[in-house]
Amino acid sequence: MKTITVFKGDGIGPEITDAVLEILKAAKAPLDYEIFRVGEAEYEENGALIPEKAFASFERNKILLKSPITTPVGKGFRSLNVTLREKYDLYANIRPAKSNAAVVTPFKDVDIVTFRENTEDLYVGVEEQIDAGTVHATKIITRRASTRIIADAFAYARAQGRKKVTCVHKANILKKSDGLFLSVFREIAENYPDIEADDKIVDNVCMQLVMRPQQFDIMVMPNLYGDIVSDLTSGLIGGLGLLPSSNLGKDYAMFEAVHGSAPDIAGKNIANPTALLWSACMMLEHLGELDVAAKIRRAVDQVLAEGSCKTPDIGGKATTAEYCSQIIGRF
């Protein structure tokens, strides 16, 4: 049995976490859990967004399943997601967006994996107040970080039998920073003659994604573009409730839904746990539990294909509990 750390988060976090853990247990995932409350509610009660014992658990177990966290607004806190990525060098944010025929959108046959560099770019949070009307923000791009994420994208493409990797950038304007990222991409691409490599400017990518998303396979890009573009890809497949992610480093791995804590629907039993559940499947695959992950994925596909049990965000009226029960019933 592998012990993992679980952060239940805020808003809809606790209820979708409970649903996912129930499904994992029903699927007989060989896991034990150390579960912690983190985020705004924890801060208001105990004065810490993430308790030290939660950090210690992650450092011990190396694997974290994290539901959405609310970072208090206007209290001087950086995003907890950014903090975790930097603290544990979770440099590779991988976000797969794949169409499901049972979820109706204007877009068909979307199958895109976004590789987002996760530790630098504007997300370093370095800003300087120049005068009363001027603020400078520092964008950092390094060869080391660029090499890691781009090499991972190509290695993933080859291992998964994917055909194409696209570098997304703004090197026509940011000639040194994005220019470095693009230069590293072209260098690494030479080592993968079996993989088609191209590059596109980020604004053009956004247009192309809503005109013909099927042209994209794997995309790799700096931090800010990755955040924006991957949310766009979620819209192609039905929304953030269907977009999972992994955050991988050399020593640690964190798996999380991309969406926020949605406090407006918290406690209403209508939240869609699919993104967190599919993130848990990515975690199982990372741990080598391929059969359990496949069992859960098949069950979700069957429930969605049947069509009678969907949460409101994807056109249904089912509660979180009903949806969870239907998935478990397919095991």
Q: What is the pLDDT of residue 261?
A: 87
* Residue 110 belongs to domain with CATH number: 3.40.718.10
For residues 259 and 285, state if they share a domain: yes
Query: Catalytic residue numbers?
Result: 123, 170, 203, 227, 231
Element (DSSP H or E) covering residue 31: strand 31-36
Please tell me the total count of domains within the chain.
2
**What integer pLDDT is reported at residue 95 of this predicted model?**
97
Q: What number of other Cβ atoms are within 10 A of residue 25's Cβ?
A: 12
Do 231 and 261 share a structural domain? no
In 10 A of CB 50, how many CB atoms?
20
Q: Are residues 52 and 133 in the same domain?
A: no
**Confidence class for position 315, pLDDT limits 50, 70, 90:** confident
Whether residue 77 is predicted with pLDDT greater than 70 in this model: the reply is: no
pLDDT exceeds 60 at position 76: no
Give the pLDDT score at 290. Answer: 96
Single pTM value for the model: 0.92
pLDDT at 78: 63
Does some domain include residue 95?
no
**Domain end call among 237, 263, 281:** 237
256 in the same domain as 229? no
Domain region containing 246: 1-90+241-331
In this predicted structure, the answer to whether residue 72 has a pLDDT above a threshold of 70 is no
Contact 258, 230 (CB under 8 A): yes
Residue where a domain terminates, one of 204, 237, 270:
237
What count of other Cβ atoms lies within 10 Å of the Cβ of residue 179?
Answer: 16
* Residue 34 exposed, middle or buried by CB count within 10 Å (0-12, 13-18, 19+): middle
Please give the Cα distance from 216 to 142 (Å, whole number).
26
Residues 111 and 233 in one domain: yes
* Residue 76 and residue 135 in one domain: no
**Do 30 and 151 share a domain, yes or no?**
no
74 — pLDDT class (breaks 50, 70, 90)? low
Q: Please, which pLDDT band fits residue 172 given cuts at 50, 70 and 90?
A: very high
Q: Kindly report the three-state secondary structure assignment for every residue of 124-184.
A: HCCEEEEECCEEEECCECCHHHHHHHHHHHHHHHHHCCCCEEEEEECCCCCCCHHHHHHHH
Residue 262 and residue 303 share a domain: yes
Distance CA 12, CA 266 (A): 5
Q: How confident is the model at residue 226 (pLDDT cuts 50, 70, 90)?
A: very high
Segment 238-289, tens digit of pLDDT: 998 899 999 999 999 999 998 888 888 988 999 999 999 999 999 999 999 9
* One domain for residues 150 and 249: no
Q: What is the pLDDT of residues 199-210, one digit of tens each?
A: 999 999 999 999
Over range 291-306, report the average pLDDT: 95
Instruction: Report the C-alpha gap between 83 and 66 in whole angstroms.
Output: 13
Predicted pLDDT at 204: 98
Whether the CB-CB separation of 132 and 185 falls below 8 Å is answered with no
Three-state SS at 311: coil
End residue of a domain, out of 237, 269, 303: 237
Q: Clarify whether residues 38 and 114 are in a common domain.
A: no
Alpha-carbon gap, residue 277 to 21, rounded angstroms: 9
Range 187-199 average pLDDT: 98
Residue 73 confidence class, pLDDT cut points 50, 70, 90: low
- Give residue-wise pLDDT tens across range 8-66: 988 999 999 999 999 999 999 999 999 998 888 788 888 888 899 999 999 999 999 99
Say yes or no: 196 and 111 in one domain: yes
Kindly state whether residue 100 falls inside one of the protein's structural domains: no
